[in-house]
Structure 1
């Protein structure tokens, strides 16, 4: 079997994908039409021009444009179902999907409608597409007052959707270190939620250290700058703390020159637990299959290494035990 077909057939797990970053042009266009949002486009093809940007600031503007079309429970359910259909087409069995409640609350979306839409979308993902989803709700560093505890209180409150697995931390790293949000993460951990912050993406190794020491991170989103500090690499290796690596994301945001210059190979050779992810697949114009192919073609990941990365993602996930057992069994049946 050729590598393309083999990757397509491989059972997969994704740990780092943002719901709000999964809006392909067709979904974005349909939601804009439904809600009367003017995107200055007459068709999904016209939106393709929007899906081009030069660096983080341009990406942030595109991301906020996408948020504007999400207004009702139906919108969130349909967006989740569309993501699930895309995951199912790639043989993804389980995914942990990040979403940012404060962004929607500030736009006037009722949290009850937001949560109801996520629940319905998760149900449709399972029943219509055979994909199990877990939710990570993240704090937007530059948007949330650290003392407000808005996101963690939502997760622990009566309106939270089913399937919450952890608290995340996203947004702009520079100027908003992990330490600011220590009390929210302590509250989350005390109530059984995982600590799943982004760190070491646009800021250096000190951001990863802050996530580990202050937020007691169970995984690190991105984390590529850990290579700046050999002591940090040794710590991550010793404690088997997984990194959620997203090649196309890092290249699209100009954090690396291009896909081939990404430090993925160095991370793997250092003995780090590496998982492969899409981050914001629609806006970075990628799929999980494409990320695995890039790891294979550009960074020396053999078929066995790709299979091992999926097993590592499954082990690092908070999937139900039955899901873990089933997917592990499928992975053992895959022949390199």
Structure 2
């Protein structure tokens, strides 16, 4: 069997994909028409950017089509259909409540939309979703606890597995958000912040020490600090690596020059992810093929990466057991 067919049939787990970054042009157009949103005739313009700051502005502009229950449900189902086509069995999908709340979206409707979308993802596509609701660094006052209080309240969506921290990393260190993460962890949620994407090792150290991070979103800048690499490797703290995202945002010069292989050779726990697949025009299959072609991942290494992602996930025990049985049956 050729490598493309083999990758396509491999059962998969994804840990770092943003719902708001998964809106392919067809979904965006459909939602825009529903609300009479004028996209100025150039949908592709929303998918062009030069750097992280430019991308963040475009990302926020694309949120305008997500307004009510039906929109969030349809966006979730569209993502689930795409995941199912790649044989993704379980995904932890990040979404940002405060960004929607500040636009006037009623959080009860947001939660209802996520619940409906998660149900339909399972029923229509066989994809199990766990939610990571993240704090937007630049949008939430640290001691306001807006996101974590929403997650711990009666209107929270079902299936939330962790609290994240996203948005613009530069100028917004993790330490001020420590109390939100302490509150979340006390309630049984995992700490799943982005760190070490556009800022160096100090961001990752801050996430580990102040937020008690269970995984690190991106984390590629850990290589700038050998002591941090040793700490991550010893503690077996997983990194959610998204190579195409890093290239698109000019954090790596090219797919071949990405530090993916270096991270693995350093003994770190590495998972492969898409981040914002619509904006970066990638799929999880694409990420695995790139790892194979450019970074020496054998079929065994690709299979092991899925086992690693499954073990690093917060999937229900029954889901973990079912996916593990599928992975155990994969022929190399």
The TM-score normalised by the length of structure 1 is: 0.98
The match for 1:121 is 117
Structure 1 residue 48: deviation in Å? Answer: 2.3
Structure 1 residue 322: deviation in Å? Answer: 0.7
Task: Give 3-state SS (helix, strand or coil) of 2:130's partner.
Answer: strand
Counterpart-to-counterpart distance in 2, 1:130 and 1:153? 31
The match for 2:76 is 80
Structure 2, gaps ≥5 residues long: none
Task: Give 3-state SS (helix, strand or coil) of 1:334's partner.
Answer: coil
Task: Give 3-state SS (helix, strand or coil) of 2:156's partner.
Answer: coil
Counterpart-to-counterpart distance in 2, 1:96 and 1:298? 26
Matched, 1:304 2:300: yes
The match for 2:330 is 334
The TM-score normalised by the length of structure 2 is: 0.99
Counterpart-to-counterpart distance in 1, 2:194 and 2:5? 32
Counterpart-to-counterpart distance in 2, 1:199 and 1:115? 26
The match for 2:32 is 32
59-68 or 112-121: which moved more? 59-68
Structure 1 residue 24: deviation in Å? Answer: 0.2
Structure 1 residue 50: deviation in Å? Answer: 2.6
Structure 1 residue 33: deviation in Å? Answer: 0.4
Structure 1 residue 167: deviation in Å? Answer: 0.1
Asked if the contact 2:98/2:140 (under 8 Å) is kept, the reply is yes
Once the two structures are superposed, residues 132-178 of structure 1 have per-residue CA deviations (whole angstroms, 9 ceiling, x without a partner) of 00000000001100010000000000110000000000011111111
Asked if the contact 2:71/2:113 (under 8 Å) is kept, the reply is yes
The match for 2:310 is 314
Counterparts of 1:240-319 in structure 2, within 5 Å, are: 240-319=236-315
Counterpart-to-counterpart distance in 2, 1:61 and 1:229? 31
Structure 1 residue 225: deviation in Å? Answer: 0.3
Task: Give 3-state SS (helix, strand or coil) of 1:244's partner.
Answer: strand
Counterpart-to-counterpart distance in 2, 1:99 and 1:173? 17
Counterparts of 1:33-48 in structure 2, within 5 Å, are: 33-41=33-41, 46-48=42-44
Counterparts of 1:124-135 in structure 2, within 5 Å, are: 124-135=120-131
Asked if the contact 2:56/2:167 (under 8 Å) is kept, the reply is no
Structure 1, gaps ≥5 residues long: none
Counterpart-to-counterpart distance in 1, 2:9 and 2:196? 32
Structure 1 segments, 4+ long, off by >3 Å, are: none
Once the two structures are superposed, residues 7-52 of structure 1 have per-residue CA deviations (whole angstroms, 9 ceiling, x without a partner) of 00000000000000000000000000001111012xxxx4223312
Task: Give 3-state SS (helix, strand or coil) of 1:68's partner.
Answer: helix
Structure 1 residue 125: deviation in Å? Answer: 0.3
Task: Give 3-state SS (helix, strand or coil) of 2:211's partner.
Answer: coil
Counterparts of 1:58-207 in structure 2, within 5 Å, are: 58-207=54-203
Once the two structures are superposed, residues 253-291 of structure 1 have per-residue CA deviations (whole angstroms, 9 ceiling, x without a partner) of 001111111000000001100000000000000000000
Matched, 1:239 2:210: no
The match for 1:22 is 22
Task: Give 3-state SS (helix, strand or coil) of 2:277's partner.
Answer: coil
The match for 1:6 is 6
Structure 1 residue 58: deviation in Å? Answer: 1.9
Counterpart-to-counterpart distance in 2, 1:180 and 1:297? 41
